[in-house]
Amino acid sequence: MYGTGILRGMGVTIKHLIDSFVDDLSFLGQRYYSDDSLNVRQGTRGRGVFTVQYPEEKLPVPERFRFIPFLLYEEQEDGSTIDRCTSCGICAKVCPPQCIWIERSSDPDTGRPIPEPTRFFIDIDICMNCGYCAEYCPFDAIKMDHDYELASYDRTEAHIFDKDRLDKPVEYYASICPTDYAAEELARGEQEAKKAARKAAAADKKRMAAEKKAASS
């Protein structure tokens, strides 16, 4: 019984070796270091076993892939930017490894808090990529990135991302997660429409009350 299994395993290995060798010869160098190499090797024409030649070649990551979080900002017509983050601190509270630190802005004259972060830090060595921060954020201000090439020779300050390194435009999020972005924008539009309808109804109610009061007087 054991001898038969070994022979079967060797047969599969030899078959993969032959298929890979014949496939390499048939494509004449197109399988490696070319723009469409992954499409060729993963398509219906590809046979055999191959190894992704990283870092020259990189496998595409799925849309729901989660890595280090990043912050979203919206670009205005006048060129200014508005952070979605209001420094509410929910992401820091729900973070299991407690790798998020936030410092809220304040008015220099009155000292009252302003709903925007002055400083925002994430320790990527501690982050476990769970996505809780993005899931619980009520303003869709923090999302999970697809960039996984973050290795460096400095394990101190280089792995503590500040707000400048975390900030990315909404367009970037739309490019890496188009499905989620479209669904979120649809929900956002519906909420804004409901809010506008409630505001219009309140204004009509106030106007009708004023007209009724004027008519009675």
Q: What is the mean pLDDT of residues 100-117?
A: 90
62 secondary structure, DSSP code: P
35 pLDDT higher than 70: no
- CA pair distance 96, 92, nearest whole angstrom: 9
Name which residue leads in pLDDT, 42 or 137. Answer: 137
pTM: 0.74
Q: Note whether 55 and 28 are within 8 A (CB).
A: no
7 pLDDT higher than 70: yes
Cis peptide bond upstream of 55, omega within 30: yes
- CA pair distance 6, 12, nearest whole angstrom: 10
